[in-house]
Amino acid sequence: MSQTDQQVIAVVLESAEVSLISRWCDEGKLPAMQRLREQGVWCELTGPGYISSGCVWPSLCVGTNPAKHGIGFFHRELKNGTYRMIKKYADQVVGEYFWDSLAKAGHRVAILDAALTKPTPGMNGVILCDWGSEHPGWKQCSEPPELFADVSQRFGEHPLADWYQRRLHTVEEWRELSDKLIQGAQIRTDIFCAMIARSASRFALANYSEPHWAGHMCWHLHDPDHPEYDADLVAKVGDVILDSYRACDRGIAQIVERFPDANMVVLSLIGMGSHAGGEMLLPEILDRLGMAGKGPARNSPREPGGSRRALFGNTAATTQTIQRVEQVISPDLMRRVKNAVPERLWDTVTRGVLSVGTNWKNSIAFSVPGDNSGLIRINLKGREPKGKVEPGREFDAVCEQLITAFKELRDVSTGKPAVTDVYKLRDLLKGPLIDELPDLVVLWQRGVPISAVESERLGRIELEEFHKRPGGHWHTGFLMASGHHFKRGEVLPTANLLDVAPTMLALFDVEAPQEFDGEVMRGMLRV
Ligand SMILES: [Zn+2]
């Protein structure tokens, strides 16, 4: 397969939604990607994204499932063996980046902003970390170390560098966001091309985080069915999702023009849609099932009707907590404080707050933070410090009870099942770090947020008013690949995200490490 002078360039469009990429390629709105798709191969990608968006990057980069690399929803995870929330960082990902195998085999690499990664000292190539990440997972740095300062001096910082939790109100502010996303993608392209040229790399990978930002913040500027859709605002600002994807498409066109002989791979690890799901209902569901801990929890008064309206509620869903803190402290003040203290101190304090007042130690099961799915941890003896449930049969029985109860729930607004499935991760994933992850993953029906559910067992449970960002993750990504290594014009069956790393190695005739969980995507390769 390998030729000595061959080049593979991979572009990750972070959280770009597969259905939109496909439609807008068909409609001619993304001409560079449409050309790659026509001239190469296309498939959808599934993977461990059903657990959370946080685990997909490590799964790509080290080629293993989350029970081996140890990362779930890394922004806010339970520290295994405690009842404390932490943020995980790049140095807690267990495994070796697939590009390190390429570099060791003599192929120079260039890596830009691969999320939750850090430089490998002395690597055969260049890497730039967290120049413009939607969710920094390490620190701004590079290998060689002077590269980051060089890039900053020449290209500046990402236009959205200080946009932490900013809330937008005016047409001008939304336009400014749109402009900064477009600028960000353009500068990123210039940086990436300069890195490839400077390092004479054979394998290069860049992450474009602009679709991720646009998806979370601007879904209501795209989707007429979104509850916050504002036709007047859209008429003035435009579809920011489309505009951000177009900016990436222009970047891809520029890369193809600059490196015309390269094999191009464009992919997204997970998708995006209108925020959906019912994870905020989990604490009350567990309470009604008798699984939530009893006893006093600070700031957790019960109100008439039985729902908890706590600041730091008993088994409270922690996203609610963040929102309530932000209602008390303005986002501007939060941003100023955040910028004034070291990143890790900020993370430790804010995650610590999320655990305050919970009654997880007295619970049989409790919900932990996630994004597109509901995540549940069983309070297991021998693992949790005050475990209540014996491993083995009792653990299995609690899981079964929960699975049955969740599958009975109907969405009150549609009458349809609210939950499509509940996965017991131990049955699906094998690896020594399985206890870093939640025990059960509740998959909600896709659509709009679920605000009320009911079943004979639990009665009717309604969500108090709650606001999340307009866009939320969904499970499916995509991959398109074009160049002399790839077949032409073929639509392939859905592949797994874990197949990408061994396939990238196979393009250079480098054998996949034994611990990899995926297979080489032979169907896309010319033999
Ligand atoms: Zn996200």
DSSP codes joined into one string, 86-142? E---GGG--S--HHHHHHHTT--EEEE--TT----TT-SEEEEESSS-SS-SS-SEE
Residues 206, 334: one domain?
A: no
In angstroms, what is the span from residue 510 Cα to ligand 1's centroid?
A: 32
292 is a domain residue: yes
In angstroms, what is the span from residue 32 Cα to ligand 1's centroid?
A: 25
In angstroms, what is the span from residue 186 Cα to ligand 1's centroid?
A: 21
In angstroms, what is the span from residue 229 Cα to ligand 1's centroid?
A: 20
| DSSP state for residue 17 in the 8-state scheme | -
In angstroms, what is the span from residue 302 Cα to ligand 1's centroid?
A: 32
In angstroms, what is the span from residue 216 Cα to ligand 1's centroid?
A: 7
Residues 400, 483: one domain?
A: no
In angstroms, what is the span from residue 211 Cα to ligand 1's centroid?
A: 10
**Mean pLDDT to the nearest integer, 272-296:** 87
87 is a domain residue: no
In angstroms, what is the span from residue 470 Cα to ligand 1's centroid?
A: 11
User: 19-33, 244-258, 456-470, 472-486 — which is least confidently predicted?
Assistant: 456-470
The whole-number pLDDT of residue 486 equals: 96
124 is a domain residue: no
Position 306 pLDDT exceeds 60: no
Residues 234, 334: one domain?
A: no
Considering its fold, how many domains does the chain have in total?
A: 2
Residues 398, 447: one domain?
A: yes
In angstroms, what is the span from residue 217 Cα to ligand 1's centroid?
A: 10
Residues 413, 450: one domain?
A: yes
Domain of 267, CATH number, reads 3.40.720.10
In angstroms, what is the span from residue 113 Cα to ligand 1's centroid?
A: 15
**Mean pLDDT to the nearest integer, 311-329:** 47
In angstroms, what is the span from residue 58 Cα to ligand 1's centroid?
A: 14
244 is a domain residue: yes
- Cα–Cα distance measured from residue 42 to residue 418, given in angstroms and rounded to the nearest whole number: 32
- Cα–Cα distance measured from residue 300 to residue 517, given in angstroms and rounded to the nearest whole number: 44
In angstroms, what is the span from residue 257 Cα to ligand 1's centroid?
A: 31
Residues 180, 284: one domain?
A: no
In angstroms, what is the span from residue 272 Cα to ligand 1's centroid?
A: 8
355 is a domain residue: yes
In angstroms, what is the span from residue 15 Cα to ligand 1's centroid?
A: 7
154 is a domain residue: no
Distance, CA of 140 to chain centre: 20
Residues 511, 391: one domain?
A: no
Position 346 pLDDT exceeds 80: no
Of 115, 44, 59, 117, the closest CA to residue 517 belongs to 59
**Mean pLDDT to the nearest integer, 48-68:** 97
In angstroms, what is the span from residue 71 Cα to ligand 1's centroid?
A: 15
* Max mean pLDDT range (99-108, 276-285, 331-340, 456-465): 99-108
78 is a domain residue: no
**pTM of the complete model beyond 0.85:** yes
- Domain closes at, from 467, 482, 503: 467
300 is a domain residue: yes
In angstroms, what is the span from residue 212 Cα to ligand 1's centroid?
A: 6
E strand residue ranges, 256-353: 263-268, 271-274
**Contact call for residues 297 and 359 (beta carbons, < 8 A):** yes
In angstroms, what is the span from residue 251 Cα to ligand 1's centroid?
A: 22
State which residues have CB under 5 angstroms from ligand 1, the bound ion.
Answer: 53
In angstroms, what is the span from residue 297 Cα to ligand 1's centroid?
A: 31
In angstroms, what is the span from residue 298 Cα to ligand 1's centroid?
A: 30
In angstroms, what is the span from residue 472 Cα to ligand 1's centroid?
A: 7
In angstroms, what is the span from residue 222 Cα to ligand 1's centroid?
A: 17
The residue range of the domain holding 321 is: 279-467
Residues 283, 395: one domain?
A: yes
Residues 248, 323: one domain?
A: no
Residues 318, 244: one domain?
A: no
Residues 181, 284: one domain?
A: no
Residues 270, 183: one domain?
A: yes
Per-residue pLDDT tens over the stretch 2-30: 555 689 999 999 999 999 999 999 999 99
- Cα–Cα distance measured from residue 168 to residue 165, given in angstroms and rounded to the nearest whole number: 10
Position 467 pLDDT exceeds 70: no
